[in-house]
């Protein structure tokens, strides 16, 4: 009987640069590609993340079919499904690429042991990071780095370049396919009405990288802060679902000879992703527990009205509202605005960062187990190498600084189209005739600020200082 190998796809929804698939094909086996919707383990994806995943699974299935193969989709517990599927198909091995959440690691370890007890080979690979989270250690402590800059310096010293692998045009199928549940249909929520710019799947990821490297990377080091410009790669949801490997991003950036500060800055953002995964691996409760313990005693406010206003993008601060509405409609928010909106929730409203983290988890197409919680902890000031507590993003000044002509803000807050310059970001300072001619009635067509900036800032400084 010819050999069959199950390749278990998880957060690696691609064929190229996929070490588990590469290993299966190197052994000349027939491959049974499977995806298991196991909601019993790991953090279930939020609504926007699921939309992306389901669209991506359809693309993965199509790419496999074009190579004479297909994706088997099963709903249920991986720990039950994999041994049963191996028996059903007579597979001799199960291969997969690793994930780094503690409960997933524990489940995978058990699955590996069960499969090996059943006489199968079971092997896992690094398919999503440049470095395993335990590989880059501080010479002085021997443990993981707590600060980004020396971490990234150490990564660069080890070398970022990895081998790339191109999936073959044909993937040998088994003599007969085991049954599959139907693939889930990607279903956007009604308010997700600006999804057209996204192209989930491996081809979309390659196209996004190519567009970025050929047209948009110039000036990245500064322009990445401007939300109205197409100045960043928008690769985050592709990376989240493993549609592209960081190794390919590094190789193509270097091949394109994008050196100097734009290339370095871009690669260092991938470094923040590596750093976040290292933090998650060594601190499994990163999404729930402040890395700096003293913050656990912080007296957060519990205010449902303020929280709702923030979620809906009705805080009365246009740059915050633009970001929150971009999130709701597109499943994305520009990084600069993420920092401002998160800081507003934590510092101006004194609402627990974990509440915001959960909302982003629900709404972001790139909601990532490591990046989301590490970034929220960074803004709250309670994380590793975090912003100091007195860094409070000023929602009145951030707008004119980073969206001076208001293109981004007016896209999502069109009711303020008549305003410009600094007034756009502080509509309550606009003259009455200007508001009237723009048909703006504060408190009616657009909210008045839910908190006074100066008072909220002073309150936050006072409370954070008490720590
Ligand atoms: C409060 C908050 C929450 C966030 N939540 C997430 C999240 O759930 N998922 C996520 O991928 N990013 C998150 N980020 C980081 C960042 O905002 C996004 O990665 C970035 O906006 C994605 O756009 P891009 O792909 O065009 O980025 P680019 O500027 O092109 O960067 C390239 C890649 O580097 C990585 N990267 C960039 N910035 C960061 C960062 N600060 N931390 C970790 N990795 C980074 C991403 O994988 C990104 O795709 C969050 C930031 C904040 C402030």
* Residue-wise pLDDT tens digits, 325-336: 999 999 999 999
Q: Whose CA is nearest to atom 4 of ligand 1?
A: 372
Say which CATH topology domain 293-465 has.
DNA Cyclobutane Dipyrimidine Photolyase, subunit A; domain 3 (1.10.579)
Q: Whose CA is nearest to atom 11 of ligand 1?
A: 236
- Per-residue pLDDT tens over the stretch 213-261: 999 999 999 999 999 999 999 999 999 999 999 999 999 999 888 778 9
pLDDT class of 307 with cuts at 50, 70, 90: very high
Of the ranges 13-17, 100-104, 411-415, 461-465, which one carries the lowest mean pLDDT score?
Answer: 461-465
Residue to mutate (ligand 1; options 213, 247, 331, 371; most atoms within 8 A of CB) = 371
pLDDT class of 387 with cuts at 50, 70, 90: confident
Tokens of 354: 């974990």
pLDDT for 263 beyond 70: yes
Q: Is 272 in the pocket of ligand 1 (CB under 6 A)?
A: yes
Q: What mean pLDDT is predicted for residues 383-409?
A: 93
CATH 1.25.40.80 fits 129-163+201-282, yes or no: yes
Q: Residues 41, 104: contact at Cβ < 8 Å?
A: yes
Among the listed residues 353, 359, 361, 378, the single catalytic one is: 353
Among the listed residues 123, 132, 303, 335, the single catalytic one is: 335
Query: SS3 of 398, please?
Result: helix
Q: Is 126 in the pocket of ligand 1 (CB under 6 A)?
A: no
Please confirm, yes or no, whether 376 is among the known catalytic residues: yes
| CA 157 – ligand 1 centroid, Å | 23
- Predicted local distance difference test score (pLDDT) of residue 386: 77
| CA 237 – ligand 1 centroid, Å | 9
Residue to mutate (ligand 1; options 47, 217, 261, 269; most atoms within 8 A of CB) = 269
pLDDT class of 2 with cuts at 50, 70, 90: low
Residue to mutate (ligand 1; options 226, 236, 270, 278; most atoms within 8 A of CB) = 236
| CA 236 – ligand 1 centroid, Å | 6
- Strand 72-75 and strand 30-37: pairing? parallel
Q: What end-to-end distance do the CA atoms of the chain give, in Å?
A: 67
- Per-residue pLDDT tens over the stretch 407-458: 999 999 999 999 999 999 999 999 999 999 999 999 999 999 999 999 999 9
Q: What mean pLDDT is predicted for residues 48-70?
A: 97
Contacts 24+ apart (CB under 8 A), 82-86: 82/6, 82/8, 82/34, 82/36, 82/111, 82/115, 83/111, 83/114, 83/115, 83/118, 85/6, 85/32, 85/34, 85/178, 86/6, 86/115, 86/118, 86/120
Among the listed residues 123, 132, 300, 303, the single catalytic one is: 300
Q: Is 268 in the pocket of ligand 1 (CB under 6 A)?
A: no
CATH 3.40.50.620 fits 4-127, yes or no: yes
| CA 205 – ligand 1 centroid, Å | 15
pLDDT for 360 beyond 70: yes
Distance CA 228, CA 326 (A): 12
Query: Which numbered atom of ligand 1 lies nearest the CA of 220?
Result: 29
Q: Is 343 in the pocket of ligand 1 (CB under 6 A)?
A: no
pTM (two decimals): 0.97
Q: Is 238 in the pocket of ligand 1 (CB under 6 A)?
A: no
pLDDT for 192 beyond 60: yes
pLDDT for 1 beyond 70: no
Domain coordinates of the chain in residue numbers? 4-127, 129-163+201-282, 293-465
| CA 223 – ligand 1 centroid, Å | 15
Q: What mean pLDDT is predicted for residues 363-369?
A: 97
Burial of 205 (0-12, 13-18, 19+ CB in 10 A): buried
């Amino acid at each position: 009987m010819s050999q069959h190998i199950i390749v278990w796809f998880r957060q690696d929804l691609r064929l190229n640069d996929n070490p588990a698939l590469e290993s299966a094909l190197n052994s000349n086996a027939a491959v049974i590609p499977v995806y298991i919707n196991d909601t019993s383990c790991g953090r279930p994806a939020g609504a926007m993340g699921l939309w992306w995943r389901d669209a991506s699974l359809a693309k993965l299935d199509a790419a496999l079919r074009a190579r004479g193969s297909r994706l088997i989709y099963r709903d249920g517990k991986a720990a039950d499904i994999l041994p049963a599927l191996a028996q059903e198909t007579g597979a001799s091995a199960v291969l997969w690429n690793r994930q780094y959440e503690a409960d997933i690691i524990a489940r995978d370890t058990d699955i590996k042991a069960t499969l090996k007890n059943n006489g199968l080979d079971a092997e896992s690979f690094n398919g999503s990071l440049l470095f395993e989270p335990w590989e880059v250690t501080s010479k002085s402590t021997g443990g993981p780095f707590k600060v980004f800059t020396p971490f990234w310096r150490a990564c660069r010293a080890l070398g970022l370049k990895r081998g790339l692998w191109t999936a073959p045009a044909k993937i040998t199928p088994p003599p007969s396919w085991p049954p599959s549940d139907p693939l889930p249909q990607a279903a956007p929520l009604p308010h997700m009405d600006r999804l057209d710019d996204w192209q989930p799947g491996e081809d979309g990821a390659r196209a996004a990288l190519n567009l970025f490297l050929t047209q948009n990377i110039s000036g990245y080091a500064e322009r990445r802060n401007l939300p109205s410009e197409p100045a960043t790669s928008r690769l985050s949801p592709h990376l989240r679902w493993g549609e592209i490997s960081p190794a390919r991003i590094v190789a193509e950036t270097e091949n394109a000879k994008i050196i100097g500060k734009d290339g370095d800055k871009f690669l260092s953002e991938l470094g923040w992703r590596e750093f976040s995964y290292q933090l998650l691996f060594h601190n499994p409760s990163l999404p729930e527990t402040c890395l700096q313990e003293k913050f656990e005693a912080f007296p957060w406010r519990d205010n449902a009205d303020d929280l709702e206003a923030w979620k809906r993008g009705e805080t009365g601060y246009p740059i915050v509202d633009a970001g929150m509405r971009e999130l709701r409609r597109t499943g994305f928010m520009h990084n600069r605005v993420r920092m401002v909106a998160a800081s507003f929730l934590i510092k101006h409203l004194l609402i627990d960062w974990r509440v915001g983290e959960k909302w982003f988890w629900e709404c972001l197409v790139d909601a990532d187990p490591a990046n989301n919680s590490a970034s929220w902890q960074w803004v709250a000031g309670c994380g590793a190498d975090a912003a100091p507590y007195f860094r409070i993003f000023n929602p009145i000044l951030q707008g004119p600084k980073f969206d001076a002509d208001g293109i981004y803000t007016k896209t999502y807050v069109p009711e303020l189209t008549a305003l410009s310059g600094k007034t756009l970001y502080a509509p309550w300072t606009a003259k009455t005739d200007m508001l009237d001619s723009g048909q703006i009635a504060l408190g009616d067509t657009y909210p008045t600020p839910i908190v006074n900036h100066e008072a909220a800032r002073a309150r936050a400084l006072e409370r954070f200082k008490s720590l």
